[in-house]
Structure 1
Amino acid sequence: MFAIKAIPSTANLIGLFLGTGIILLAVASYLTQMPVIDLVTWLQSVFSWGFVIIFSALFSIGVVAGASIQASKNNTFLYDVGIQAANGISTLALTFTLLGISLGIGSLSEQPLSPSSVNGIIGELTEQFSMAFMTTVVGLPSSAIIRAWVSLRYSKIETE
């Protein structure tokens, strides 16, 4: 019960989530020298809105849980929240990988193959496979980073 008080209020979490998202978009825009609208369009086309929103929420939950672990508090709940958020990210990444592969194979099976249609079909197939593999490339390392950070932070504070 004591550890629950360490979690920020809902309004603070929403503000943190939106603020972090805006800052990350600004940094990405600066680094890629692309306008924000082009970045948002790219995110939607490569990852889909479902992945971006769920990933962002789980990543934010993991970061907030890890940052909320403090000395002389019962941190077991926050540790569990952070680890479950990291597990959710890896599950999400693998789920969207399978979804992208399924969509690609589904689009392949709906069209007749002929020499004149192969280029278009390969284009559609690679677009779906791009989502499949990019969700894994982003999701699994992010999950590992959150999991490691929360675990190491918890271990360090609990042994002090």
Structure 2
Amino acid sequence: MHIWIRVLGTLAVTALLTSPLWAPSWGRGLLGEIGLLPFPGNLLVVIAFFGLVALYCASLHVLMKRAGAARPASVWWMFAIPANFVEDFYIVHRVDAQIRSRTTTVARLSWLWLGYGWCGFQILSLFPGIVGLIGGGLALVLWLTHWVLTVVLSRKLR
């Protein structure tokens, strides 16, 4: 069942990412928004964002290792675009399964729901127009909050 969710979800994400090509009346979407900043500024923004994602993945990797995970490197699937938009939910779930017995319920559930929240709003950010902008803004806030809690939990597991 999970493979079908991953495949169909990735197809839906791909459709949203490419919507400016086949439904230009919907708006420019995420790729169009990146293009609003002229080169090389747009390239620097993309590089900086992927750099932050790499640091976030490193934080998740450390958390998984400290929790005794068998496959902590699985968090790096966040770079498998466009599949990562769906895979991120599974990554959050896998990390949660590793920290479940090692942290308090409140901290873990906060971490879990913040994780699912940024994943969901990240997908919403792919929609064109104001819905995508609001979704993207909320995704960034939840993602950064989740990252801070990831570091806090990781330090507690030292």
The TM-score with structure 2 as length reference comes to 0.34
Greater radius of gyration (CA): 1
The TM-score with structure 1 as length reference comes to 0.33
